[in-house]
Amino acid sequence: MTTSNTVYAGTAGQGVWRSTDTGETFHRRCAGMFMESVVRALAVHPHDPDILFAGTDSGLYRTTNGGDRWTRIETPFDNGSGWPCGVAVWSVLIHPQNPDLMFIGTCPPAVYRSRDAGNSWETLNPAFAWECAPIVYSRVTCLKADPDIHRRIWCGVEIDGVWRSDDEGDNWIKLGDGLSSPDIHDLAILPGSGHVLAATNNDLNISYYNGKAWQPQGVKDKFPFAYCRALKAKSDDPRTLFLGNGNGPPGTAGALQVSHDGGEVWRQADLGEPAPNSTIWTVATDPDSPNLIYCAAINGYLYRSGDGGETWRKCAHEFGEVRCLALTTSSSNEGEVTVE
């Protein structure tokens, strides 16, 4: 049985796009949502590649047919119109061990939880800092499930540090001792180790104690850029990590760093030509195709690796601004291209 891959891109102002030919061509797939939505989060159901959730500035949406059509989901902050509603979804988590358990993070900063696969939502109450300079409103940039303690949820806030819940979101504690900056862009949790990595605006930070203390890594002396954004583990090897960085938000140049030892030693990937035109903002992997990896610069360049991150090449399609990626694998989809 052959497998085929589908790549989704969430954009700023042009909704969701889908590619079925390994990222070379994309088509807009926004039916059912405001077509000019800013899509900052895409999450794939762990057991059904046709089910995805999109977090936008006009609400939370779900598709059950791989993006052919989206349906808006009622949430506590949504005014019901499908128009940009004053609260933007920045992060979506479908719990990998219990897909009925979901979380969304927003700007202004808040966390919402669903226990019925997204059909109904409740507001949680982390005591996030509401306002901060210079971005005015804080935002929940990432939500991660702990791979070892399944009731533990991690949360990164820009600009209010790292937060953790040990009871599926009922209670939260702030963990920021030693961080180089409270401006959290992404988190990675290494299974079986207690090690947590946090990407910030000025460094990469590592905690060896489940977030209780942090050690900045001084990447400005190792990488061409200190601004760190995306953090993603290879789906079949959690000690292989990909870190997107660049010279600012959005920046004019970017790079992708790769570590094979859980973040201790890094090397810069050769993404080929042309080089990224802005910070590498997002990385996508899929457990059913562990050697297929995508990364994107925020100003639209998309890169693909088919060998686990060893070699890369730029895809033909270019976006105006891409905020998130998702990758899915299915056993049979007519018309889709099989990845070599």
Give the pLDDT mean for 46-64.
97
Q: Is 165's pLDDT higher than 80?
A: yes
Instruction: Give residue limits of the domains in the chain.
Output: 4-330
Q: At CA 142, angle to CA 81 and CA 174, rounded to 5?
A: 115
Percent of the chain with pLDDT over 70: 96
**pLDDT recorded at residue 338:** 34
Q: Could you tell me which residues are beta bridge partners of residue 40?
A: none
Predicted TM-score (pTM) of the model is 0.95
Query: pLDDT tens across 13-48, in order?
Result: 999 999 999 999 999 999 999 999 999 999 999 999
Give the pLDDT mean for 55-69.
97
CA atoms within 13 A on the CB side of 257: 28
Tokens coding 7: 């790549």
Considering only CA atoms, which of 134, 60, 145, 128 is closest in space to residue 94?
145
**pLDDT recorded at residue 335:** 44
Q: Is 51's pLDDT higher than 60?
A: yes
The contacts of residue 297 (CB under 8 Å, 6+ apart) are 246, 254, 276, 277, 278, 279, 280, 281, 322
For residues 154 and 164, give the distance between their C-alpha atoms in angstroms, rounded to a whole number: 5
CB 231 within 8 A of CB 243: yes
Q: Is 1's pLDDT higher than 80?
A: no
For residues 185 and 141, give the distance between their C-alpha atoms in angstroms, rounded to a whole number: 6
**pLDDT recorded at residue 21:** 94
Query: pLDDT tens across 277-326, in order?
Result: 999 999 999 999 999 999 999 999 999 999 999 999 999 999 999 999 99
Confidence of residue 332 (pLDDT cuts 50, 70, 90): low
Query: pLDDT tens across 170-192, in order?
Result: 999 999 999 999 999 999 999 99
CB 55 within 8 A of CB 21: no
**pLDDT recorded at residue 201:** 97
- Per CATH, is 4-330 categorized as 2.130.10.10? yes
Query: pLDDT tens across 193-231, in order?
Result: 999 999 999 999 999 999 999 999 999 999 999 999 999
Q: Is 274's pLDDT higher than 50?
A: yes
Percent of the chain with pLDDT over 90: 91
**pLDDT recorded at residue 59:** 93
Query: pLDDT tens across 113-156, in order?
Result: 999 999 999 999 899 998 888 889 999 999 999 999 999 999 99
**pLDDT recorded at residue 340:** 29
Q: Specify the 3-state DSSP secondary structure of 112.
A: strand
Residue written as token pair 């005015």: 136
Confidence of residue 336 (pLDDT cuts 50, 70, 90): very low
For residues 39 and 261, give the distance between their C-alpha atoms in angstroms, rounded to a whole number: 32
Give the pLDDT mean for 232-251.
97
Give the pLDDT mean for 257-265.
97
Count of Cβ atoms closer than 10 Å to residue 288 Cβ: 15
**pLDDT recorded at residue 78:** 86
Q: Is 70's pLDDT higher than 60?
A: yes
Q: Is 81's pLDDT higher than 90?
A: no
